[in-house]
Amino acid sequence: MPKLASIARSGLLVAALAVAGCNESQSTFEGLTAKGELHIPQKVLDEMKAKDMPRTSPVLARIFKEEGKLEIWKQKSNGRYDIIASYDICKWSGKLGPKFIEGDRQAPEGFYTVRPWQMKPNSQFYLAFNIGYPNAYDRANGRTGSNLMVHGACSSSGCYSMTDAQIEQIYAFGRDAFSGGQTEFQVQAFPFRMTAANMARYRDDPNYEFWKMLKEGYDQFEITKVPPKVDVCEKRYVFNQIPENGAAFSPTGACPASTMPDTLKMAYQSYVSDYEKAFTSAIKSSTPEPAPTIAGLNEATLVSDWTRKRARGERVPVEPPSLEPDGSVKVTSQMGRIDSPAGRRMAALEAAEAEKKRLAEEKKRAAEEKATAIALAKAEKAAAEALAKAGPAPAPTASPDASQVAAAPADEAAAAEKPGLLGGVRKRMASLFGG
């Protein structure tokens, strides 16, 4: 598409993407017709021919989060699939681990199915297809969410987002397969390539048992190069199982008696034996540090609550919270508000509330100052009235001044020297006491 149009569309999407992520409505059937004519590059068509892949043969998508890859596999004339294209995922949301609840911002992991009505040629994210979350496994385990996509526009809040050029090719692969008669294609979404080394790295992770279950389907595709038959019973995935006596699988019911084709069973047992040896060896060797993973439903609930507050326009930490291994909650100190109509409304409400509070505080302070002034005036008046009732104060008794006090000893000495009655008495007193 023209570069200018792409830039303009990206600019118009900024606000919408911040609010909606990839959860756009999926209420109507839109068919397969996309904007303009989508072409698969001639180089890819030549490779398809070399690999004996009819242009309209069935396809399958595989996603690897940690490696950031989306692969398209296509059926050859012999019925087996081979990889035909690999794309770097532009953005995927959340951490390694499955999606648990609406708003946890996790991109799903598991086995999903895409049918023609899930294709969205008129997506607000240029082109998209709904991967089919929640599937039977998710529903059986109480997991919630809706409209999780693979789409363009390179922005994600729970989806797998590609560039517009990438999604054009991916969409065209699906369109051609559906036009050739494929009724649905499988999307396999994994946390990482499920090698012995990677499984050893994550052996202590809380999601490990879930990943071990996904690995059964992963391994069987690696063996057969054919999409596995996927069912759910006892709230878990089962792969390539054929129920006996026409029984059916119930996602929440007991698994019926079933068998795996003998050739696959033998090949799978051999594969698992080799894997276990490689796993044991991988544990003993040094491996890269594991990537962050979601700490189950507890962390998903924290993030979901953050998402709801953010969508309402509240000020929240700029990054979603996470749950630490010790159970503490980690949040970023920087706060922000989403730039959206909801955010602007919330900002206006908070500003009005702050102004109301400020005015109330000013009114309260003015009232307190007035009450203090009145109380002071009353006290001064009461003091004045008390003084008036007491009458004039008595004149103070005169006290000798300093000159009189200083002169007294000299006068007494002079009197002692004078003759007469007083002088004689003083002399006699002095003689009596050794004076």
Scored b (16 or more CB within 10 A) or e, 212-221 reads ebbbbbbbbb
Contact 66, 201 (CB under 8 A): no
Pairing of strands 185-190, 59-64: parallel
Contact 196, 281 (CB under 8 A): yes
Task: Report the candidate in 126, 127, 41 with the shortest Cα–Cα distance to residue 84.
Answer: 41
SS3 content of the chain, % helix, strand, coil (to 5): 45, 15, 40
Contact 70, 150 (CB under 8 A): yes
Q: CA–CA separation, 213 vs 209, rounded Å?
A: 6
Which of 151, 154, 233, 255 is catalytic? The answer is 151
Which of 22, 90, 154, 159 is catalytic? The answer is 159
Cis peptide before 288 (omega within 30 of 0): no
- Residue 106 burial by Cβ neighbours in a 10 Å radius (0-12, 13-18, 19+): buried
Q: CA–CA separation, 343 vs 336, rounded Å?
A: 10
151 has catalytic annotation: yes
Q: Which residues are catalytic?
A: 151, 159
